Amino acid sequence: MILKYLNKIPAGIMVVPLLLGSLIYTFFPSILEIGSLTTALFSNAGVDTLIGVQLFCLGTTLKIKDMPDILKRGGVLLVSKFVIGAAIGIAFGYFFGLGGILGISALTVISAVTNSNGSVYLALVSEYGDDVDAGAFPFLALNDGPVFTLIALGASGLASIGFTEIIAAVVPMATGMLLGNLDKGLQELFKPVGTALIPLVGFGLGAGINLLDIFRGGLQGILLGLITLFIGGLFVLFFDRKISKRPGYAAWAIATTGGNAVATPAVIASVDSMYEPFVATATVQVGASVVLTAILAPIVTNWWVKKYGSPQFSLKQQAFEEEQFIKGD
């Protein structure tokens, strides 16, 4: 009954738990911090573990022959997401100065748009996409932080991506992939778990989102979120369809701002003090973009899937038509 209701809501299997978690975190945060297994599972602290398990399970469904497609899809999404964020931010700085326009600075734009919420992406492609889409997750995790923002601002010599961090992001899926290729029985055992974890991941994500951040960021924060979702999303969509030859749902799934981006303005200012005057404003505006895109991206992705299709949606449609045909008999 509950699942049937969730399926009627755009991306409901993820969005409803996310909103529930964010409502609890916003108004009753202490409930999730009572400790023990409750905090470990339902607070935001448990999201990384859930995603690790999800990646492992999804990894068991990947084949060695899928690797070229994984590299291509992930690379196109990662590069195009970075390029559009950098381009908009640099344009802001070039035409309007570091302070930007309408109260939105170049630092704010680059921090929000070059970054993405990998957890939202993984949850959405697990629901709508295929195993190759999920396999691109470790590549997209590379822009979850300040490194690409520093590169966009011309400070790449002062930042580096730790090799250990890259390996740590790949190990769960690589391990699952190894086991799944060695034993088909393990693949069948773990395959359903990846999808089953989506509501828990959604709730955990919500448990780290304070809905009041939308109001703290003001109209500029809302505008920033819309720029991230629609301008950034349309740019990534173009390359996802033209180069990867995909329906485009993955582009909308990555058209978000990741939670780590909230700390990015302060990191940038610590590297280059000329951005210091913009840190406080940029932080709250980026926070608003995190919340807004986490809520809207699943809805837009769902709409796009219904219009242009996706692997999982096509399977569900086929199953529905077969069921209706049988009933008609």
How far apart, in whole angstroms, are the C-alpha atoms of residue 140 and residue 61? 19
Tens-digit pLDDT profile for residues 186-202: 988 998 887 788 888 88
Residues listed for the chain: 329
User: Residue 322: what pLDDT?
Assistant: 46
User: Residue 144: what pLDDT?
Assistant: 64
Q: How far apart are the first and last CA of the chain?
A: 26
Which stretches in the chain have pLDDT values below 70? Answer: 7, 10-11, 142, 144-148, 150-166, 169, 313-329
Q: Which amino acid is at 85?
A: G
Distances in Å between the alpha carbon of 258 and those of 4, 269, 287, 316?
Answer: 30, 19, 9, 30
With beta carbons less than 8 A apart as the criterion, state whether 298 and 306 touch: no
User: Residue 297: what pLDDT?
Assistant: 94
User: Residue 102: what pLDDT?
Assistant: 83
How far apart, in whole angstroms, are the C-alpha atoms of residue 207 and residue 20? 8
Q: What share of the chain is helix, strand, coil (3-state, %, to 5)?
A: 80, 0, 20
How far apart, in whole angstroms, are the C-alpha atoms of residue 255 and residue 273? 29
Residues 12-328, CATH architecture:
Up-down Bundle (1.20)
User: Residue 117: what pLDDT?
Assistant: 87
User: Residue 326: what pLDDT?
Assistant: 59
Name the residue ranges covered by the structural domains of the chain. Answer: 12-328
User: Residue 285: what pLDDT?
Assistant: 92
How far apart, in whole angstroms, are the C-alpha atoms of residue 308 and residue 315? 14
Q: Which amino acid is at 120?
A: V
